[in-house]
Chains A and B, each alone.
Chain A
Amino acid sequence: EVQLVESGGGLVQPGSSLRLSCAASGFTFDDYAMHWVRQAPGKGLEWVSGINWNSNTIGYADSVKGRFTISRDNGKNSLHLQMNSLRGEDTALYYCARDRHLAVAGVVDYWGRGTLVTVSS
C-alpha cells in the first residue's frame, strides 16, 4: 500500500524557516517524480514544487522560487521541502504527492494527508 506521511509543519513567525519531510513507503521511491502541493484554508490547490526521480529536474512555483528548496533522498525514501523567509501567504496545508511518471508530469496519483504550516506573529 502506497503511503506518504508528511511531518514538520507548525506555527512559525514571518521571516522564519521550516523544513517539511515526507516519508514514502509501499512503492519503489526512485521510480517516481514527487511534488509538494499546498492548499490555503478554504482555497484551491496550488502546486509548490516538483522533483524528478533522480533530482536532475526541479521546478518551483513563482510564488516560492528563491525561498523554498525541494530535495529527495532515494536511499531513505524521503522528500523534503526547506522553506525560508516564510510569509503569511505561505499558510496552508502542505501535501506530499507522487507523480505517475519519472519526470515531473503533474499526474499526481497518490497524496499524503498533509502537514499544516501557519505563518503568523
Chain B
Amino acid sequence: SSELTQDPAVSVALGQTVRITCQGDSLRKYHANWYQQKPGQAPVLVIFGKDNRPSAIPGRFSGSSSGNTASLTVTGAQAEDEADYYCNSRDSSGNHVVFGGGTKLTVL
C-alpha cells in the first residue's frame, strides 16, 4: 500500500504530552518525516529520519516508530504548537513519496 493514515484531529492540554501517529506499509521499510503547518503558511519540517530535528525545532518534538506505525510526540505542548501535522515517507516502490492526510492538533 502507498497510503499513510493519520487521525484527523487530536487535542492536548497546555503543558501535557501528545502523540500523533501515522500508519502505513511503507513505514516498515522507510522512516517517516513530520511537518507542521500553520494557517496560511508553508509546511515546516520538524522531524526527519529515525528521530532527527532541524536546528530551529524545539526539543519538545521527537519521533519514534514501531512496525508500520510512526509517531510524533510533543512533550509539554505549547499554545504555538497548535497546527496541522503531516507525516510522509517514500512509498513502497522507493521512487514515489506519499503524505498522510494530516492531523489537526488543538492545544486546550
User: How far is B5's CA from A49's CA once the two chains are assembled, in angstroms?
Assistant: 20
Is A108 a contact partner of B35 (Cβ separation < 8 A)? yes
- Residues of chain A within 8 A (CB-CB) of B102 are 44-45
Asked whether A100 lies within 8 Å of B42 as measured between CB atoms, the reply is no
Q: Are A106 and B42 neighbours in the complex by a CB distance under 8 Å?
A: no
Chain A residues whose CB sits within 8 angstroms of the CB of B1 once the complex forms? none
User: What are the residues of chain A within 8 A of B35 when measuring CB–CB?
Assistant: 45, 108
Quick check: B49 and A47 within 8 Å, CB to CB? no
Give the residue of B37, B49, B101 whose beta carbon is less than 8 angstroms from that of A107. Answer: B49
- Residue from A50, A60, A104, A113 within 8 A of B42 (CB atoms): A113
Q: Cα distance A44–B43 when bound, in Å?
A: 11
Q: Which of A83-121 contact B (CB under 8 A)?
A: 95, 100, 104-109, 111-114
Which residue of B48, B84, B89, B96 is within 8 Å of A100 (Cβ)? B48
Min distance, Cβ B31 to any Cβ of chain A, angstroms: 9
- Please report which residues of chain B, range 71-104, place their CB below 8 angstroms from some CB of chain A when the two chains form the complex: 84, 86, 88-90, 95-102
A35 at the A/B interface (Cβ < 8 Å)? yes
Contact, CB under 8 Å: A45 / B97: no
B→A interface (CB under 8 Å): 30, 33, 35, 37, 42-45, 48-49, 54, 84, 86, 88-90, 95-102
Query: A-side interface residues toward B, CB under 8 Å?
Result: 35, 37, 44-47, 50, 57, 59-61, 95, 100, 104-109, 111-114
- Can you report 29 A-B residue pairs in the complex whose CB atoms are below 8 A from each other? A35-B97, A44-B86, A44-B101, A44-B102, A45-B37, A45-B43, A45-B86, A45-B102, A47-B96, A47-B97, A47-B98, A47-B99, A50-B97, A59-B95, A59-B96, A60-B96, A61-B96, A95-B42, A95-B43, A104-B90, A106-B30, A106-B90, A107-B45, A109-B45, A109-B48, A111-B43, A112-B42, A113-B42, A114-B42
